[in-house]
Structure 1
Amino acid sequence: MKHEYRQPIRKLGFKHQFCVFHTKQKINRDINDYLKQNKLTHEDIESVKSFKHEIFNIMDAPDLETAKTKRDQLIKEQKTLPEPIFKILWKFIVPYFKNLTYYIKNTNISRTSNKIENIFQKVFPKHIKRLMKTKTGLINRFKLKLEFWNIKNKNQNHQLNF
């Protein structure tokens, strides 16, 4: 979900699915920060948690129509939404709805980034990660991965090209 990765992904022409796991983590973090900074009644806290689950239901919807219906229902109730939910809805859910639901429409798109993160490894030094945030760096890394894969699978005739 980092802004730095969005531009190279868009330039390469890929549909950018936000990782559902990391999105939920971000929403939880934003809500918990809000709850720590503001003294709310028990009822208000329960209301925030209830609406948080409604947002999670959008991302976990079985089909796109259900997700759209749930989103539209929250938009209709916007005047009754607690402040953190209102902000999440209008600054994140509505503008990035497609990025949150690509996996529902296309089953070839993973709902999490676990596989991708494991391919590109999470433990690169920062100077390597910075290179990966550019189109050229991303393509070069991908070509290297393919080359190593081809070398490893040379005897099995599973050559891949890019």
Structure 2
Amino acid sequence: MKRATFYLIEHGAQIYGLSPEEILTCEFSAQHWRVGKKIQILCEEKAQAARLDDALWLYPSYTFIPHHLSGEGPKQGATVEMIWPDCLSHHSADLLINLLSECIDFVDRFTEIIDFVPYKTTLKQLARARYAYYRQLGFNLITTSHPLSK
């Protein structure tokens, strides 16, 4: 069954130049990679993808996460691939981590999605629209919180 998990973000402070959603994206990428999942991270734009690419390089060497920007790296795709609307990948993945604020029909090919409910009211409304869209696509929906570990 398809599953989408929404994580509630309780504050908007940036840490090391990354938003709470971006920090959690790095953490979730590491967790899911360790259990053998292929992951695509859907970013708002290439600049955000590049920021996450840089952040993943900063993890200690013993926790290295194979990753790349869409259009770079191996032809079959790395374990973690950063994509954005202008450069959607056709590689298959087990998990989509969605940082895009708008709904996009691309998500229906995934069986597992991680999404976020930001603290700002206007962004919460967009998260509600994504929630309704996922429900329409047949996803089992879960909403939870996650404390930032950094």
Taking structure 1 as the reference length, the TM-score comes to: 0.27
Instruction: Compare CA radii of gyration and give the structure with the larger one.
Output: 1
Taking structure 2 as the reference length, the TM-score comes to: 0.28
Q: Which has a greater percent of helix?
A: 1
Q: Which has a greater percent of strand?
A: 2
